Amino acid sequence: MKSNKRKKGLDQTFRPKHKITKGSRIREVLEQGERYASKHFVLFMLEESENAQEEPKLGIISSKRIGHAHKRNRAKRLMREVFRIHKGWFNWGESVIIIAKKNIDLLSLSDLEKELEGVVKKKHDKSKPSTCSEDSFSPTAKNISSLHFPMDRTAV
């Protein structure tokens, strides 16, 4: 007989509770969060202690500079999927905004994962340089759920 109880912790779903939908919250993350840039996107992250019991949340900005609607939608789908799979890379209570840059629609899912991993690793190296190594940060490592990425409150 199956149990209806769900395990406590991060699941690999992307539900409405994982989205940042209010414009005021998006502006707050963009203004107060830390900024990390890569070739195909810009990532803003803001961690708040009062939301520490909530799972990480994602907001995606994909403007017309990306291209026609089908390109913007593909970019958003890719970014949502990477976030869904790798929610463990982000702290509980953290809000994440991803702003897509031109040509992001040309990336494969694995390329986008590698690029996001590099950005999150850059964030982690900046906040705790002595505890992160190349081997321990691999997304396939068994201890990915035990990694903690503390947030430095200074703006970049």
Q: pLDDT tier at 20 (50, 70, 90 boundaries)?
A: confident
Is residue 11 situated within a structural domain?
Answer: no
Is residue 122 situated within a structural domain?
Answer: yes
Q: Please give the tally of structural domains in the chain.
A: 1
Is residue 30 situated within a structural domain?
Answer: yes
Is residue 56 situated within a structural domain?
Answer: yes
What are 81's two structure tokens? 């999927």
Closest CA to 66 of 49, 42, 89, 97: 42
| Beta strand ranges found along the chain (DSSP E) | 34-37, 41-47, 57-61, 94-100
CA 120 to mean position of chain CA atoms = 8
Distance CA 32, CA 154 (A): 9
Is residue 113 situated within a structural domain?
Answer: yes
Q: Are strands 57-61 and 41-47 parallel, antiparallel or unpaired?
A: unpaired
Tens digits of residue pLDDT in 22-54? 888 889 999 998 899 989 999 998 887 666 677
Residue 129 burial class via C-beta count within 10 angstroms: exposed 0-12, middle 13-18, buried 19 and up: exposed
The three-state secondary structure class of 78 is helix
Tens digits of residue pLDDT in 95-108? 899 999 988 888 89
CATH label of the domain that carries residue 101: 3.30.230.10
Supply the pTM of this predicted model.
0.69
Is residue 103 situated within a structural domain?
Answer: yes
Let me know: does 96 contact 58? Beta carbons within 8 Å. Answer: yes
Range of the domain at 22: 16-146
Is residue 1 situated within a structural domain?
Answer: no
Is residue 78 situated within a structural domain?
Answer: yes
